[in-house]
């Protein structure tokens, strides 16, 4: 291009910055999505064992308990009283695990156990005892099954 003085001035192609911001945002979203997918593990076409198996890594430790409760549901008859025992909690309230057990055993009556002192009284009332995470040693209990990190006992009457 010629200037008013007759010189030829070099022309540089204008860079359109209006596409730069959307391109950077798209690249950031794509990178974040790829990192999120990678954190969830490899893609498998098999059916997951529980609804939490493909969930956030912080929630995945509950998945084996869900498998255990499904086995308990399959083996305990409808209407039976089940004492569900998990490792002790310090707050003395209904634990999250107990509420999950109530949801996973809809046909059975789940008995809450608050403290170690309540354990003996709850076992006496229950038809079955489901202990997740540790075995029980009681003369009133007959071993029914061992599976998925838990133990199912039948109360001896």
pLDDT in tens, 79-135: 999 988 887 655 555 577 888 888 889 999 998 775 555 566 666 788 998 888 888
In a 3-state reduction of DSSP, which class is residue 32? helix
Sequence-distant (6+) residues with CB within 8 A of 11 are 1
Across the range 25-53, mean pLDDT stands at 84
Q: How many CA atoms lie within 13 A of 106 on its CB side?
A: 1
Across the range 70-82, mean pLDDT stands at 92
- Report which of 118, 127, 129 is spatially closest to residue 85, judged by C-alpha positions: 129
Domain count, the chain: 1
Are 85 and 126 in contact, with CB atoms under 8 Å apart?
A: no
CATH, residue 94? 3.40.190
How much is the pTM?
0.64
Domain assignment of residue 72, given as a range: 60-155
Q: Is residue 68 part of a domain?
A: yes
């Amino acid at each position: 291009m010629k200037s008013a003085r007759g010189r030829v001035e070099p022309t540089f192609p204008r860079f359109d910055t209006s596409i730069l911001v959307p391109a950077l945002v798209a690249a950031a979203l794509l990178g974040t999505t790829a990192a999120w997918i990678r954190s969830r593990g490899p893609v498998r076409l098999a059916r997951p064992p529980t609804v939490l198996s493909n969930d956030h890594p912080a929630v995945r430790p509950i998945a084996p308990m869900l498998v255990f409760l499904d086995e308990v549901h399959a083996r305990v008859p409808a209407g039976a009283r089940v004492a569900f025992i998990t490792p002790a909690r310090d707050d003395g309230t209904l634990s999250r695990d107990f509420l999950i057990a109530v949801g996973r055993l809809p046909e059975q009556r789940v008995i809450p156990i608050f403290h170690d002192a309540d354990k003996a009284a709850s076992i006496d009332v229950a038809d079955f005892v489901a202990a997740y995470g540790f075995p029980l040693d009681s003369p009133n209990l007959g071993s029914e099954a061992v599976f998925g990190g838990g133990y199912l006992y039948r109360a001896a009457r």
